[in-house]
Amino acid sequence: MRSEEYTNFIFDNCDTVELAKTFGTPLYVMSEDRIKSKCRDIRENFLNKYPNTRAAYASKAFTTMAMCKIIEREGLGLDVVSGGELYTAIRADFPMERIIFHGNNKSYEEIALGVTHDIGRFVVDNIYELELLEEIAAEQNKKVKILFRITPGVEGSAHKYINTGQEDSKFGIPLDEKIIEYVVKKAMDSSNIILKGFHFHIGSQLFDSNLNILAINVTVNLMKSLKEKFGFITEELNIGGGFGIRYTDEDDETKPISFHTDPVMQAVKDECAGAGLDMPIIIIEPGRWIVGEAGITLYTLGAIKEIPNVRTYISVDGGLPDNPRPALYEAKYEAIVANKANEKPEKVVTIAGKCCESGDILIWDLKVPQIESGDILAVFNTGAYNYSMSSNYNRLPRPAVVLINEGNAELIVERENYDHLLEREIVPSRLGKAQSISCDVALTRLE
Ligand code: LLP
């Protein structure tokens, strides 16, 4: 980084102010290098360190066809959770045997898409899905490989909306003896289903391994009892994702992969040895940890509202529709004024989004230098669950996404325009005619 020469914020050799000029704002900027370096850590310190391990990227955190290509080249698998995510992978020519299909209410069409394309694993969440999958596999005359998602009864430590492993959860099969034994037996007896093992996911933004270790203890007990009762051998155990990243100084530092995986591997080894079981293949599914810190969002500052002795609000040209996380989870972010990166902070302001919602505040109490409308704000660590959770609320077109790589920036998702917002709308003729002009024409007429 050449920060002495530049007053602009440089992100992975790209001048962010230039990016804002070239591509407009709001703009999602993703660094290929940062994504790859996380994948490299997984390869070197998990996959290569431990035999019989796999890693799949949880594409719900951020997915596009270009992202699928990066993940494919990095040698990871892909966790998808809907027909849309699966279709993105199919169109990106992602190797289907590396796909893991999640979801607590997969539709007939979604399951059929997965069966048709011979995806690697279905993670079956409930009895209803098992029956549907069996029926579709039989229709297509296929044998599908599955894991059962179980609810280990362990509570995550993050916001309650991102904890999933607790007993009272919509996800997974409860570890009630009758229920779990019923589904395992049913899968074992099916001629179209091959049961390979189990999956759990405790929750997101985890900074210690204790919860995963508790869940491993519960799962190994289950594995032991199923072996004793039915002779069932668990070949695979998928422990989900959830590894945390640092958003602000209040969070722990982002830890290397080994911080999360070493204790888990040790626990599986010890527990299995204690139970007289062979070690299963261990699979991890990080999403946020891979892409969270690889992304920033650029905004242009607009209206400045000073309320004497109260606070100063500065509004940006995006907000809740491109980053709903502060409103949903009270998530916190750090940011920098990108065109004044070397200037000392002098005041504290609140960064507001432009939506008609009082809750649309991106950052409370951000320290900034002297600022004015037109300045560019770079919000850090927006790579995960921002673009993928974006909406058109207030009919705001979604921002573009650029991928930066060795100082070059390329569009991987075009900015939406007003016509995209209306693309699938129909006005019934009895209500009158719609204008047939495009937004380009409408905009020039307005000028
Ligand atoms: N595997 C499964 C089965 C999951 O449900 C999830 C996340 C992951 C892996 C990846 O978790 P990660 O490594 O990204 O934490 N929208 C929320 C996060 C929801 C996560 C849902 N499941 C947020 O913005 O914080």
356 is catalytic: yes
Closest residue by Cα to atom 23, ligand 1, is: 385
Q: Rounded to the nearest whole angstrom, what is the distance from the C-alpha of residue 343 to the centroid of ligand 1? A: 37
pLDDT at 165 over 90: no
Region 79-104 average pLDDT: 98
Region 22-51 average pLDDT: 98
Task: Flag the least confident range among 94-103, 137-146, 154-163, 262-271.
Answer: 154-163
Task: Measure Cα distances from 41 to 66, 220, 247, 268, 291 in Å.
Answer: 21, 27, 20, 21, 13
Closest residue by Cα to atom 1, ligand 1, is: 240
Q: Does residue 26 have its Cβ closer than 6 Å to ligand 1?
A: no
Domains of the chain: 10-28+293-422 (2.40.37.10), 32-292 (3.20.20.10)
Q: Rounded to the nearest whole angstrom, what is the distance from the C-alpha of residue 49 to the centroid of ligand 1? A: 25
Atom of ligand 1 lying closest to residue 244 CA: 15
Q: Quick one: 356 exposed, middle or buried, by C-beta within 10 A (0-12, 13-18, 19+)?
A: exposed
pLDDT digits (tens, 9 = 90+) for 390-405: 999 999 999 999 999 9
pTM over 0.85: yes
Distance from C-alpha of 193 to C-alpha of 131, rounded to nearest angstrom: 10
Region 259-274 average pLDDT: 98
pLDDT at 167 over 90: no
Region 73-90 average pLDDT: 98
Q: Does residue 285 have its Cβ closer than 6 Å to ligand 1?
A: yes
Q: Does residue 38 have its Cβ closer than 6 Å to ligand 1?
A: no
Q: What is the mean pLDDT of the chain?
A: 95
| pLDDT at residue 2, rounded to an integer | 46
**What SS3 string covers 374-418?**
CCEEEECCCCCCCHHHCCCHHHCCCCEEEEEECCEEEEEECCCCH
Q: Does residue 172 have its Cβ closer than 6 Å to ligand 1?
A: no
φ, ψ of residue 81 in degrees (nearest 5):
-135, 10
CB atoms within 10 A of CB 2: 9
| pLDDT at residue 3, rounded to an integer | 45
Q: Rounded to the nearest whole angstrom, what is the distance from the C-alpha of residue 384 to the centroid of ligand 1? A: 9
Q: Which residues contact 434 (CB under 8 A, 6 or more apart)?
A: 427
Task: Flag the least confident range among 41-50, 89-98, 149-158, 352-361.
Answer: 149-158
Q: Which helix (H) or strand (E) holds 134?
A: helix 127-139
- pLDDT bracket for residue 162 (50, 70, 90): low
Closest alpha carbon to 284 in 62, 68, 47: 47
pLDDT at 45 over 60: yes
pLDDT digits (tens, 9 = 90+) for 321-373: 999 999 999 999 999 999 999 999 999 999 999 999 999 999 999 999 999 99
Query: Catalytic one among 14, 68, 355, 356?
Result: 356
Q: Rounded to the nearest whole angstrom, what is the distance from the C-alpha of residue 171 to the centroid of ligand 1? A: 12
Q: Which amino acid is at 54?
A: R
Which of 204, 237, 257, 288 has the most ligand 1 atoms within 8 A of CB, as the residue to mutate? 204
Closest residue by Cα to atom 16, ligand 1, is: 385
Closest residue by Cα to atom 6, ligand 1, is: 241
Q: Rounded to the nearest whole angstrom, what is the distance from the C-alpha of residue 435 to the centroid of ligand 1? A: 42
| pLDDT at residue 5, rounded to an integer | 57
Q: Rounded to the nearest whole angstrom, what is the distance from the C-alpha of residue 324 to the centroid of ligand 1? A: 15
Q: Does residue 56 have its Cβ closer than 6 Å to ligand 1?
A: no
Closest alpha carbon to 22 in 348, 298, 269: 298
pLDDT digits (tens, 9 = 90+) for 103-134: 999 999 999 999 999 999 999 999 999 999 99
Region 87-100 average pLDDT: 98
Atom of ligand 1 lying closest to residue 287 CA: 14
